[in-house]
Amino acid sequence: MNTPSHLVLNLAALGRQRSARLGWYIAIGAVLPDLPLLAFYAYLRLWAGVPEQTIWGELYARWAVLFDVVHSIPLALFGVLIALWLRRAGLTLLCASMLLHDLCDLPVHTFDAHRHFYPFSDYRFVSPVSYWDPHAHDTAAAFVELLAVMISSLILARRTTNAAARAALLGLNVVAVSYYLRFYV
């Protein structure tokens, strides 16, 4: 799934009846698993000028363990349990949001699948469905993601009276629809 989609879905799923302060923990947990990969790509492509083929064909595999750690379902679940034991609401929501991110990613990665059960297993669930791979039903997967984002946005818009938050949701939906139309239609 795309990183902004995780943000909207996680806020809708975990943010009910939460204060704005706790919402930040959900937001951070929603995007945290993708941050190392985004930084990796931004540095290599935008700063160092490394070609796409080299990034994904050679360098990605060397850094994959870092990306797998932050996508580990057992580690996120362990974080939730420790945070609950410590009675830290914010940390619990952050780890729960990471867990939800990992669970949502699991069914939509093909050959780029993470080791979601790391460190207990090196197994990679190679899904027949991908949100980006044209050989693995990307158009249908991306459409389901788009619908989930739009429904989640409506839920979030109903929960808030903040005009800026509603405008941000509208903007995100415009970008999501534009992205879908540009790359999948």
**d(Cα 22, Cα 182) in Å, to the nearest integer?**
35
CA distances from 16 to 59, 148, 151, 162 (A): 40, 17, 15, 15
Does the residue 22 lie in any domain?
Answer: yes
How far is residue 100 from each of residues 34, 48, 146, 160, measured CA to CA in Å?
13, 33, 17, 22
| Residue 161 binned pLDDT confidence (cut-offs 50, 70, 90) | confident
Residue identified by tokens 């931004």 is 42
Is the pLDDT assigned to residue 51 strictly greater than 90? yes
pLDDT at 124 over 90: yes
| CA 78 – CA 97 distance, rounded (Å) | 13
Single pTM value for the model: 0.92
Range in 14-23, 29-38, 146-155 with the lowest mean pLDDT: 14-23
pLDDT bin (cut points 50, 70, 90) of residue 171 is very high
Let me know if 86 is exposed, middle or buried by CB neighbors in 10 A (0-12, 13-18, 19+).
exposed
164 falls within a domain: no
Would you say residue 56 lies in a domain? yes
Per-residue pLDDT at 17: 75
Instruction: Specify the pLDDT at position 111.
Output: 86
> What is the C-alpha to C-alpha distance for residues 150 and 156, in angstroms, rounded to an integer?
10
User: What is the rounded distance in angstroms from the CA atom of residue 40 to the CA atom of residue 149?
Assistant: 26
In a domain, 79, yes or no: yes
- Domain containing 111: what range? 3-130
pLDDT of residue 112: 87
Q: What's the angle, vertex CA 162, arms to CA 89 and CA 88, rounded to 5?
A: 5
pLDDT at 19 over 80: no
pLDDT at position 101: 98
Is 25 within the bounds of a domain?
A: yes
Q: Residue 148 and residue 166: Cα distance in Å, rounded?
A: 17
Residue 60 burial (10 A CB sphere; 0-12, 13-18, 19+) = middle
Query: 109 in a domain, yes or no?
Result: yes
How many domains in the chain? 1
- 59 in a domain, yes or no? yes
Task: Please indicate, yes or no, if residue 113 is contained in any of the structural domains.
Answer: yes
